[in-house]
Amino acid sequence: MMEEEELEFVEELEAVLQLTPDVQLAIEQVFPSQDPLDRADFNAVEYINTLFPTEQSLANIDEVVNKIRLKIRRLDDNIRTVVRGQTNVGQDGRQALEEAQKAIQQLFGKIKDIKDKAEKSEQMVKEITRDIKQLDHAKRHLTTSITTLNHLHMLAGGVDSLEAMTRRRQYGEVANLLQGVMNVLEHFHKYMGIPQIRQLSERVKAAQTELGQQILADFEEAFPSQGTKRPGGPSNVLRDACLVANILDPRIKQEIIKKFIKQHLSEYLVLFQENQDVAWLDKIDRRYAWIKRQLVDYEEKYGRMFPREWYMTERIAVEFCHVTRTELAKIMRTRAKEIEVKLLLFAIQRTTNFEGFLAKRFSGCTLTDGALKKLESPPQSTNPFLEDEPAPEMEELAIEKDLDQPKKPKAPDNPFHGIVSKCFEPHLYVYIESQDKNLGELIDRFVADFKAQGPPKPNTDEGGAVLPSCADLFVYYKKCMVQCSQLSTGEPMIALTTIFQKYLREYAWKILSGNLPKTTSSSGGLTISSLLKEKEGSEAAKFTLEELCLICSILSTAEYCLATTQQLEEKLKEKVDVSLTERINLTGEMDTFSTVISSSIQLLVQDLDAACDPALTAMSKMQWQNVEHVGDQSPYVTSVILHIKQNVPIIRDNLASTRKYFTQFCIKFANSFIPKFITHLFKCKPISMVGAEQLLLDTHSLKMVLLDLPSIGSQVVRKAPASYTKIVVKGMTRAEMILKGLKRSEQSSMLELLRQRLPTPPSGPEGSGSLSLLAPTPEQESSRIRKLEKLIKKRL
């Protein structure tokens, strides 16, 4: 029973002493210990096993027990000391708390005494300063009253003086006095309820009205509407009157400016009436010369009469532009049938020059949105199409710079651009029609020149020459675009773009496609059979050297036109109004030039392909079952290589500037020749194993030639493009695998598949043959393959 009670007591004690992990961690940090007895997961059994690992160690059990008992006594002493110490600390804490409470009560009493004294001091200060505040308010009111009385005295005296000076036309003194009176009057806005103040305000307004009417009358007298000027010219009185007008209602200033400018331009309206000979476009220079003389005359006579901030010289010029635009629009509507393109361009050029003169002379600060809807100026460009052109042969097109020097586009910061020339926009259809006619004649001249001069001479050193007519066409396009953008960036530019599209297509059809070498055709299209002569021993009809060079030249020209047309579209979009950019689209024309390029490449491929056809036909007619030994490459292979060496170097040299299209030619030729070669392989009559080995040798020779095709005959050896090499290796490897033979179980299915793909052969002994290999023994096949490999290595 005692043992059970002890066990229960131990379990209860362990439950009470079970600490949380956080508490245990804190204890370990405060009292670090390596003693196993201090561990939270202490295990008595493990601890005893550590003390007595073997039976022999039990001999020291008494010593260990004594040590543990000693340690227990020390722990009891420590615990007893700590408990006693905590009892004393509690008593000291209670005593300290009582003392702190007493100190707080004393502090609260002192704070209350200080607060009471502060309230008494504040009340005392208020009583002391009450009289001082009253004196301050009295002083402020007195100062305000004195200031107001002074202002009132100044206002009353100023109004009297203003009325007197107005009657005597002393505008110099009035200008200074009026501004001061108006400034003083602003101080009395809150006193307008007082009758005397309101009366003074009304007198000031009456004086302003009288001044305005009087000044207008003085200007009318000095510059009457009839055009006769005051004999004495501008006077100091009018100069001072302008200073007064600056202070009066802005409408007075505007009326003075309006009447003066109208009187100043009255002579212009008389001299250049619609029925006058000088009013027509051919004498438009006289208008601008007249206004230049008038501006000089104004500066000499009246430059000091008007304040500088009125910008009278610019206002006269701007009003002249408005009047001129209206008058020119009126006379051009009346005499529209007399407008010719040269006359129109002459008038526009002189007008834009005059607008440029105004931009250099004036800032444009007097222009208003209501007076002029400014047009967007075209951005500067010295080479809109041909800049960044990659083709080296295009350097000859630098001649266009000379054509562009007289016609420089307007700077985008010209505020006067279009202020007069806008009136010509409704008549630009004359210019557009003229460009349509000129471009039509230009295309016809290109056609005639090509027929007269013939195709370009072969060029094997610097690549195929671009037709010079394309340079002339785009130089003319650029000239027209810059010229039209100076005239308008609106609908006329869209109309000009339509004309460009029309003649880009005509150039592609008449000059490029129309001059490609033609082949005989029974169905209206290009055929390979028309290029061949079927007589045995004769070669297929081929393009001449000049014809090959012509095709390459047309291809290079089409490639240049394609790139330049894209740049033309970008430049047109830059020069046209932003709202119209979506209507600029030359994709159709670029597609047309792409079609010319494809047709040119296809002609080159068909020519070389057709030249190789007789050799492939000869291959299929050979008696391959009678071949007794494997020799050098067959004659048909030599013939194919000969044609390739004749054509490819010429094409490569003439397409040196358009390398990517030469690569396309090589790829298309490989895609055409290799399937045709495989087809002729299946047309061969039954062949022996020796014949198959000879064909395998021939196939390998053709494969090596095709791999070397892009650089054949060239002193500079370049690695063939990976895309081309992949096509050749894949196609010719298929041909080699066919010749290496199939298992008998696979032959029947492959032959049946080939019969389905090939056209039905004619009946007869020749058509009954099919590709069949005499099956040798494995030893014979291995021996022959080794011999063939040695022969191929020897040739390489």
Q: Tally Cβ neighbours within 10 Å of residue 302.
A: 19
Q: How many CA atoms lie within 13 A of 83 on its CB side?
A: 6
* Better pLDDT: 760 or 325: 325
Residues 400 and 383 sit within 8 Å (Cβ to Cβ): yes
Structural domain includes residue 359: no
Kindly report the length of the chain: 796
DSSP string, 697-750: HHHHHHHHHHHTGGGTT-SS--PPPHHHHHHHHHHHHHHHHHHT---HHHHHHH
Task: Choose the weakest-confidence range: 134-148, 671-685, 689-703.
Answer: 134-148
Structural domain includes residue 216: no
Q: What is the 3-state secondary structure (H, E, C) of 301-348?
A: HHCCCCCHHHCHHHHHHHHHHHHHHHHHHHHHHHCHHHCCHHHHHHHH
Q: Tally Cβ neighbours within 10 Å of residue 789.
A: 13
Kindly report, residue by residue over 25-84, the tens digit of the pLDDT: 877 777 787 777 777 777 878 888 887 888 788 788 888 888 888 888 888 888 888 777
CA distance 490 to 580: 7
User: How many angstroms separate the first and last alpha carbons of the chain?
Assistant: 110
CA distance 474 to 302: 52
Q: How far is C-alpha 421 from the chain's CA centre? A: 31
Kindly report, residue by residue over 482-506, the tens digit of the pLDDT: 888 877 888 888 998 999 999 999 9
What is residue 605's predicted lDDT score, i.e. its pLDDT?
A: 93
Report the candidate in 210, 230, 211 with the shortest Cα–Cα distance to residue 220.
Answer: 230
CA distance 225 to 258: 12
The residue-averaged pLDDT of 122-126 equals 85
Q: Tally Cβ neighbours within 10 Å of residue 358.
A: 22
CA distance 70 to 290: 131
The residue-averaged pLDDT of 414-436 equals 86
CA distance 433 to 492: 11
Please give the torsion angle defined by the CA atoms of residues 345, 349, 351 and 354, in that order, rounded to the nearest 10 degrees: -170
What is residue 503's predicted lDDT score, i.e. its pLDDT?
A: 92
Amino acid at 163: E
Structural domain includes residue 50: no
Structural domain includes residue 631: yes
Whether pTM > 0.75 for this model: the answer is no
pLDDT at 408 over 70: no
Helix, strand, or coil (residue 644): helix
What is residue 716's predicted lDDT score, i.e. its pLDDT?
A: 77
Structural domain includes residue 742: yes
Q: Look at the chain and report how many structural domains it folds into.
A: 1
The residue-averaged pLDDT of 162-166 equals 75
CA distance 318 to 363: 11
Structural domain includes residue 728: yes
Kindly report, residue by residue over 616-648, the tens digit of the pLDDT: 999 888 888 888 888 888 899 999 999 999 999
Q: What are phi and psi of 687, to 5 degrees?
A: -120, 150
What is residue 173's predicted lDDT score, i.e. its pLDDT?
A: 73
Beta-bridge partners for 687:
773
Helix, strand, or coil (residue 486): helix
Structural domain includes residue 700: yes
Q: How many CA atoms lie within 13 A of 717 on its CB side?
A: 2
What is residue 322's predicted lDDT score, i.e. its pLDDT?
A: 92
What is residue 485's predicted lDDT score, i.e. its pLDDT?
A: 82
DSSP assignment letter at 454: -
* Better pLDDT: 536 or 185: 185
- Under the banding of pLDDT at 50, 70 and 90, the label for residue 23 is confident
What is residue 760's predicted lDDT score, i.e. its pLDDT?
A: 47
Which residues have a Cβ under 8 Å from the Cβ of 368 and sit 6 or more positions away? none
Kindly report, residue by residue over 243-279, the tens digit of the pLDDT: 878 778 788 888 888 888 888 888 888 888 888 888 8
Dihedral sign, Cα of residue 561, residue 566, residue 567, residue 568: positive
What is residue 321's predicted lDDT score, i.e. its pLDDT?
A: 93
CA distance 207 to 213: 10
Kindly report, residue by residue over 704-733, the tens digit of the pLDDT: 999 998 888 887 778 888 999 999 999 999
Task: Choose the weakest-confidence range: 241-255, 423-437, 569-583.
Answer: 241-255
Token pair of 113, please? 């005494």
Which residues have a Cβ under 8 Å from the Cβ of 422 and sit 6 or more positions away? 325, 373, 375
Residue carrying the six token digits 């409470």: 101
Residues 160 and 141 sit within 8 Å (Cβ to Cβ): no
CA distance 510 to 444: 9
Residue 705 is part of which domain span? 611-754
CA distance 755 to 679: 11
pLDDT at 154 over 90: no
Structural domain includes residue 94: no
What is residue 600's predicted lDDT score, i.e. its pLDDT?
A: 92
